[in-house]
Amino acid sequence: MSKDTMAVRVDADLRTRLDQLANAFGQTRSSIINDALRQYADHQEWQINLIADRARSIAEGRATLIGHDDVLAGFEQRFAEK
């Protein structure tokens, strides 16, 4: 896989932390940053896809919607029983 170069400005504290992590794992700072960005992108894409799926479910009438007050009442009942 080819790699592109990207310039990112970080504060000195974050750079130190990244260097410490790279040393601890025996990796380069670049590989630590790539792993972190990949995890961030994966999580954001997951959220976007989940929201889109839920929106489709609502639009297609496949979802059961529960009002805020009903959710709160359910939590209050659940915790009152403990």
pLDDT digits (tens, 9 = 90+) for 17-57: 999 999 999 999 999 999 999 999 999 999 999 999 999 99
64 falls within a domain: yes
6 falls within a domain: no
Domain residue limits at 19: 12-81
Total structural domains within the chain: 1
The closest alpha carbon to 3, from 34, 42, 37, 26, belongs to 34
Report yes or no on whether pTM surpasses 0.85.
no
71 falls within a domain: yes
5 falls within a domain: no
The closest alpha carbon to 29, from 39, 37, 19, 17, belongs to 19
The answer to whether residue 81 scores a pLDDT higher than 90 is no
Name the percent of the chain lying above pLDDT 70: 99
Name the percent of the chain lying above pLDDT 90: 89
4 falls within a domain: no
The answer to whether residue 73 scores a pLDDT higher than 90 is yes
